[in-house]
Amino acid sequence: MTAEQLFGEIIRKKSFLCVGLDPEMAKLPRHLLHEEFPVFEFNRRIIDATHDLVVAFKPNVAFYECLGTAGWRQLELTVDHIRRNYPGIMVIADAKRADIGNTSRKYAETFYEHLNCDAVTVAPYMGSDSVLPFLDYAGKWVILLALTSNKGAEDFQMLASRKNEHVFESVLKKSLNWGNSNNMMYVIGATKAANLVKVREIVPDHFLLIPGVGAQGGDLAEVAGYGLNSRCGLIVNSSRAIIYADSSDRFAAAAREKAREVQQQMGEVLGLRFGV
Amino acid sequence: MTAEQLFGEIIRKKSFLCVGLDPEMAKLPRHLLHEEFPVFEFNRRIIDATHDLVVAFKPNVAFYECLGTAGWRQLELTVDHIRRNYPGIMVIADAKRADIGNTSRKYAETFYEHLNCDAVTVAPYMGSDSVLPFLDYAGKWVILLALTSNKGAEDFQMLASRKNEHVFESVLKKSLNWGNSNNMMYVIGATKAANLVKVREIVPDHFLLIPGVGAQGGDLAEVAGYGLNSRCGLIVNSSRAIIYADSSDRFAAAAREKAREVQQQMGEVLGLRFGV
């Protein structure tokens, strides 16, 4: 998927919403627990109920791995379901992987080839040769962690260097040499919207994946105000606030209502900016 | 496993060797390919041939994930085989995970509970709350990436901060508040043995996991000279140089010979230091 195609989807759906598929067994509606693949059945209903309101789905791999082989099977089924039924939707493996070169290559194989995802989140700590193998796939995306939305982001990402820039700024600058705005995005925590100004100075053209709108806090208008660029340039993720909107047998309808609320706010923002 | 128990194993076996179990289908001896679980069969033979020479086995999860559910199954079988037959040996999941708190908790569940590993490698970029959930397990270990052995380590780990310390030094210092020398170790790349001096100033008592002796280069005597502490404090990993020593049907015997060579060097080092 190209940046242009993604922008096309955003305009068509009047949405830059990504729904995070982070299913926890303990939070699944009870009537699904007798299914052979309860996690997949949960995801499938969420996907079917929200697909026209979103441009991306983002399963976080941790929630599948912790179920062992059954978890991986249900991750495969989930990605497959999106691929077959909603081919225009971006599938982001939220995996936060990276390792030495030959090992990162295996991770890239896992998420791009085996699982057929469009994008994978990558951790920058190990530097260039840990990220580059993920960029060897035409049409696929690296979403590099830059400034995350959690409290611990202060610990190292916000360290000031001798050049008087934060480590997350160094990550943005260095990585400009590795990829471009057609194969790299950045994770930027919405809880630090003021930092979006700094981010946009360094990467004006790139898409940003913004977590933390919803359960983690964060304000859509502020994010849009500082983050929008000429191709929208934003994908805003919401996980728990949408998928756990209701725990009864009408959870999928409730998820749709929550997604619809966010999508409508996004529609207004996009209308003002792009006249759609 | 406690640090004291690990030191006991090191003295008993006259070894601080860890063998990395990073099986690539393309490199497996051909006669194993007709097995139902070729990766597990490969690992099993390597493990059985080297168990008395090593104190740890370290499967890198990437090499299993890329095979999908079949890969996860074989990772489970591998850990199980070590657990059942060689209970004194530490099992390190080389996974380089970390995410926001509730997600890191899922990864901790995966590797400590589901897979029953002793230790997991953790990436520090997301800071305290991404690491702390891994420390909630008594008797388990976090092995935090500090200074890795790859070229890309220069990009961010070696950035100099305003406090005139490198980012990897900040990682060491901050993380001293999160764990202690009985539940945290650090990954320190052997290819930068001179940096071991700096590392030992900050974390004199911790165990260090040193990759990069073998296929990635690195010198055991230098590492020992700068890195040994009163409980040895070193685990040195070798993967490819041992497991791919030979690709014929005598690969396991060849792996043993290579492991034996390294173990004997380690025995000399330990003899000089601890009189064993």
Which tens digit of pLDDT belongs to each residue from B10-27?
Answer: 999 999 999 999 999 999
Average pLDDT on B214-241 reads 86
Is the CB of B217 inside 8 Å of chain A's CB atoms?
no
Nearest to B128 among A63, A152, A161 (CB): A152
Beta-carbon pairs below 8 A across chains A and B: 183
C-beta atoms of B103 and A63 within 8 A: yes
C-beta atoms of A62 and B171 within 8 A: no
Distance from CA of B244 to the nearest CA of A (A): 15
Contacts of A65 in chain B (CB under 8 A): 72, 106-107, 110
**Chain A residue with minimum CA distance to B171:** A156
Average pLDDT on B122-142 reads 98
Distance from CA of B108 to the nearest CA of A (A): 8
Nearest to A126 among B104, B148, B216 (CB): B148
Contacts of A121 in chain B (CB under 8 A): none
Q: Please tell me the predicted confidence (pLDDT) of residue A164.
A: 85
Closest CA to A169 of A151, A149, A150, A186: A186
Contacts of A123 in chain B (CB under 8 A): 96, 98, 123, 125-126
C-beta atoms of B127 and A156 within 8 A: yes
Q: Please tell me the predicted confidence (pLDDT) of residue A257.
A: 98
Q: Please tell me the predicted confidence (pLDDT) of residue A162.
A: 76
Distance from CA of B276 to the nearest CA of A (A): 35
- pLDDT at position B224 over 70: yes
- Name the maximum alpha-carbon separation found in chain B: 57
**Residues of chain A whose pLDDT is less than 70?**
190-192, 212, 214-218
Q: For residue A113, give the DSSP letter.
A: I
Catalytic residue among B13, B14, B96, B151: B96
Distance from CA of B107 to the nearest CA of A (A): 6
Q: Please tell me the predicted confidence (pLDDT) of residue B237.
A: 96
Distance from CA of A152 to the nearest CA of B (A): 4
Tokens of residue B58, six digits: 């370290």
Q: Please tell me the predicted confidence (pLDDT) of residue B46.
A: 98
List Cβ neighbours of B147 (8 Å cut-off, separation of 6 or more).
B153, B157, B158, B168, B187, B188, B189, B192, B195, B199
C-beta atoms of B72 and A69 within 8 A: yes
What percent of chain B is predicted at pLDDT more than 70? Answer: 97
Is the CB of B116 inside 8 Å of chain A's CB atoms?
no
3-state secondary structure of A102: helix
Distance from CA of B168 to the nearest CA of A (A): 9
Q: Is residue A133 left, alpha or beta, with left meaning phi > 0 and alpha meaning psi from -120 to 50? A: alpha
What percent of chain B is predicted at pLDDT more than 90? Answer: 90
Contacts of B215 in chain A (CB under 8 A): none
Q: Would you tell me which residues 148-177 of chain B have a C-beta closer than 8 angstroms to some C-beta of chain A?
A: 148-157, 159-162, 164, 167, 170-171, 174
Q: Please tell me the predicted confidence (pLDDT) of residue B192.
A: 66
Closest CA to B99 of A32, A241, A189: A189
Tokens of residue A197, six digits: 């100004």
Is the CB of A217 inside 8 Å of chain B's CB atoms?
no
**Across all residues in chain B, what is the average pLDDT?**
95
C-beta atoms of B152 and A174 within 8 A: no
List Cβ neighbours of B12 (8 Å cut-off, separation of 6 or more).
none
Residue B222's pLDDT band, with cuts at 50, 70 and 90, is: confident
Q: Is residue B88 left, alpha or beta, with left meaning phi > 0 and alpha meaning psi from -120 to 50? A: alpha
Average pLDDT on B179-189 reads 97
- Domains of chain A, start order: 3-274 (3.20.20.70)
Average pLDDT on B30-55 reads 97
**Chain A residue with minimum CA distance to B121:** A99
Catalytic residues of A: 96
Q: Please tell me the predicted confidence (pLDDT) of residue A163.
A: 79
C-beta atoms of B96 and A131 within 8 A: no
C-beta atoms of B161 and A159 within 8 A: yes
Is the CB of B101 inside 8 Å of chain A's CB atoms?
yes
Q: Please tell me the predicted confidence (pLDDT) of residue A161.
A: 80
Instruction: Report the alpha-carbon distance of residue B125 to residue A173 in Å, rounded.
Output: 17
